[in-house]
Amino acid sequence: MDISQVYAPTENTTVQRSEFWRGAQAGFPVLLGIIPYALVLGAQAAQKGLTVLEVPLMTGLNFAGGSEFAAIQLWTSPPHILLIVAITFLVNSRHLLMGAALAPFIRHLSKRRALAALFLMCDESWALGLDDARRRKMQGISNGLSMPFYLGVAIPFYGAWVAFTALGGAFGPMMGDLRIYGFDMAFPAVFLVLLAGMWKGFAAARPWLISLVVAATTYLTIPGAWYVAAGALSGLIAAYLLAGDE
């Protein structure tokens, strides 16, 4: 992607570059956190029979770590395609809420730029981009998302995710189960950091907490990966029902 084609044409090139590097610096600590579980996902995918080419194709075209982990856990030979599609849709359905939250800040973008932003949207880039947009609005700088800042966060995330899942697919089988080294703990650790940064009080966190309780209960009581669907659905329903209380 040519970054210069995505920036707003009225912005100065120096400002664009400064904003891009500001985004890259803001996202760098989180970027380090996604590398371990990218390796874990690649290794698990290879152990399920995906080739070194198929792993980055999956992660590059889908670019949604939670649903990719769920799909790999459900992967069999032959795969249950309809079940995997359904679970992927449910897990990724949170992007509907994420996109809705981001929508007021990308209205100034053309459709092409908005679609580019949404394609690169993952939990981490969404959280950092939205937080920066809200800060800029509160400071009276701008009512819109800083696209160069957002790209500075999102493009390294995308590149690292695809690259390190491919590395995990290539070398993971040689190293065995990476979870024994604690690599899988990076996944919840990153989300806890993002949650702490976005904490707005207990009332706003109720859908997340309901989703957590339902998913944990389902995991402990029902065999299989149904806890993923249960957690995603309960979170969406809770967010909808509690929206009027915000």
Per residue in 194-240, pLDDT (tens digit) is 566 555 666 667 887 888 899 889 889 987 667 767 877 888 788 77
d(CA 28, CA 33): 9
Number of Cβ within 10 Å of residue 150's Cβ equals 29
Asked whether residue 5 is domain-assigned, the answer is no
Mark whether 120 and 134 lie in a shared domain. Answer: yes
- Print the domain residue range for 228: 200-245
Asked if residue 61 and residue 158 are part of one domain, the reply reads yes
Confidence of residue 82 (pLDDT cuts 50, 70, 90): confident
Please determine, for residue 10, whether its predicted confidence score (pLDDT) is greater than 60: no
Give yes or no for residue 3 having a pLDDT over 50.
Answer: no
Regarding whether 42 and 155 lie in a shared domain, the answer is yes
CB 89: neighbour CB atoms within 10 A? 12
Instruction: Please write the tens of the pLDDT for every residue from 143-176.
Output: 789 999 999 999 999 999 999 999 999 987 776 6
Question: CA-CA distance, 106 to 147, in Å (whole number)?
Answer: 9
Q: Which helix (H) or strand (E) holds 26?
A: helix 13-47
Same-domain check for residues 238 and 211 = yes
User: Do both 215 and 186 map to the same domain?
Assistant: no
192 and 211 fall within a common domain: no
2 part of a folded domain: no
Q: Say whether both 72 and 52 belong to one domain.
A: yes
Closest CA to 147 of 101, 112, 123: 112
Mean pLDDT for all residues in the chain: 81
233 and 209 within one domain: yes
162 lies in the same domain as 222:
no
Residue 8 inside a domain? The answer is: no
Does 204 lie in the same domain as 99? Answer: no
Q: What gap in Å lies between CA 177 and CA 79, rounded to an integer?
A: 22
Residue entry with tokens 């993952």:
122
Query: What average pLDDT does this structure show over 123-151?
Result: 89
Q: How many domains does the chain have?
A: 2
Contact between 42 and 51 under an 8 Å Cβ cutoff? The reply is no
Q: How many CB atoms are located within 10 Å of the residue 35 CB?
A: 18
Q: Are 220 and 81 in contact (CB under 8 A)?
A: no
Please tell me whether residues 151 and 172 are part of one structural domain. yes
Residues 160, 239 within the same domain: no
